[in-house]
Amino acid sequence: MSIQNPVFIPGPTNMPDAIRKACDMATIDHRSPLFGDILHPCIAGVRKVLKSDDAHIFIFPSTGTGGWETALTNTLCAGDKVLAARNGMFSHRWIDMCERHGLDMHIVETPWGHGISADQYEEILKADKTHDIKVVLATHNETATGVKSDIAAIRRALDAAGHPAMLFVDGVSSIGSMDFRMDEWGVDIAVTGSQKGFMLPAGLAIIGFSEKAMHASKTAQLPRTFFSIDDMANGYAANAFPYTPPVGLMNGLKLSLELLEAEGLENVFARHTRIAEGVRRATAAWGLELCATAPEFYSDTVSAIRTPEGFNATDIVTHAAENYGMAFGVGLGEVAGKVFRIGHLGSLTDAMMLSGLGVAEMCMADLGLDIKQGSGVGAAQEFYRQGAASAKKAAA
């Protein structure tokens, strides 16, 4: 098919034409002030999106995964103790990376569909009288299960325990789409990538470091070369990278940040909440349930929808691609075959979302599920008609 539908995978997300065009530019000298004119607005813009006054921002040619590695290798030594919760595929992968770097993991196994328990973190931190735990990891939005965790509550747990550990947050599928407050939540490292909330192709790891994390980098001994923040900071001081920067992508990021600011971050978040609530109403109208087990966990960027016992949820994704040219997300890891995912972040409108819901219900009916055509779409339409006012109420 030469005419393309929007994608409903939770990243990479749909790209506005203006951003695609901004990425497509003639070669410039990447060691000239011309590059500085792209780099410095990107750094300032990312800081605003993170809601931080003075975080040190680093942008690497990489993806979110490289952002995880940047966080770990620049701040820790082999054998350092790290506290993390595993509640989905992405938190699992970050834990796996920690283990491969020889870090000593304290893992809180958490049911997939639940958020991180700040109470459990607090208990563990209180018991760590000798302050061996150096870092607490938190995945803000578990993209595999459509589950949001309360980062402010995790900060309160650290404070209640009087524990000096740093807080590192994976915000790859939340930053730029859901409220994120680096300074207010006392986040020491925030990690994201280009291909989700920023509506760009994959290719950039975007990371914010607090002063405390910068300080930890002075004594960290894990090996890093490509991901060295010192080398990167030295490069920035000369309007450059320590190696060749992906100039077109960075030019796209500059525009993406301008677009987010023009819409207004709070409006961007409200739009995501409204679109997500329509998806949730559709899910309920289909008689299906989310993988997320309680409203406090509902993600505004991705919904993982459970299908009935004995039905392979992945068939919906395959069927949609083959018959309707539409992309949804498959279930990953523990929930493979049990859920399919609708990504609803980035460059998306209510009307685009209705097209996704319409195709999802056609697929489910084609595959023999008892889904009345129009039921989910109708529920979402009724909600979207009420407009932004009710979205604010639903979010409250």
Ligand X SMILES: *Cc1c(COP(=O)(O)O)cnc(C)c1O
Q: Is there binding between residue 65 and ligand X (CB under 6 A)?
A: yes
Q: Is there binding between residue 143 and ligand X (CB under 6 A)?
A: yes
Q: Is there binding between residue 172 and ligand X (CB under 6 A)?
A: yes
Rounded CA-CA distance 14/10 in Å is 10
Q: Is there binding between residue 64 and ligand X (CB under 6 A)?
A: yes
What sign does the CA torsion over 250, 256, 257, 262 have? positive
Q: Is there binding between residue 327 and ligand X (CB under 6 A)?
A: no
Largest CA distance in the chain: 62
Binding to ligand X (CB under 6 A) within 7-36 occurs at 11
What sign does the CA torsion over 13, 14, 18, 22 have? positive
Report the residue number, 85 or 364, with the smaller CB distance to ligand X: 85
Report the residue number, 13 or 307, with the smaller CB distance to ligand X: 13
Report the residue number, 90 or 241, with the smaller CB distance to ligand X: 90
Rounded CA-CA distance 198/352 in Å is 18
Rounded CA-CA distance 165/175 in Å is 23
Task: State the minimum distance, in angstroms, from the CB of residue 142 to ligand X.
Answer: 6
Report the residue number, 139 or 210, with the smaller CB distance to ligand X: 139
Close Cβ partners of 99 (under 8 Å, ≥ 6 residues apart) = 105
Task: State the minimum distance, in angstroms, from the CB of residue 104 to ligand X.
Answer: 22
Q: Which two tokens stand for residue 320?
A: 């949609």
Q: What angle do CA 122, 92, 185 make, to 5 degrees?
A: 40
Report the residue number, 143 or 210, with the smaller CB distance to ligand X: 143
Q: Which residue has the tokens 């919906």?
A: 316
Contact 104, 81 (CB under 8 A): yes
Contact 376, 282 (CB under 8 A): yes
Quick one: which of 63, 120, 293, 314 contacts ligand X (CB under 6 A)?
63
Quick one: which of 202, 233, 259, 352 contacts ligand X (CB under 6 A)?
202
Close Cβ partners of 107 (under 8 Å, ≥ 6 residues apart) = 84, 85, 86, 95
Of the candidate spans 14-22, 166-174, 214-222, 284-292, the one that interacts with ligand X by CB under 6 A turns out to be: 166-174
Q: Is there binding between residue 74 and ligand X (CB under 6 A)?
A: no
Report the residue number, 63 or 390, with the smaller CB distance to ligand X: 63
Task: State the minimum distance, in angstroms, from the CB of residue 173 to ligand X.
Answer: 3
Residues that bind ligand X (CB under 6 A): 11, 63-65, 90, 139, 141, 143, 170, 172-173, 193, 202
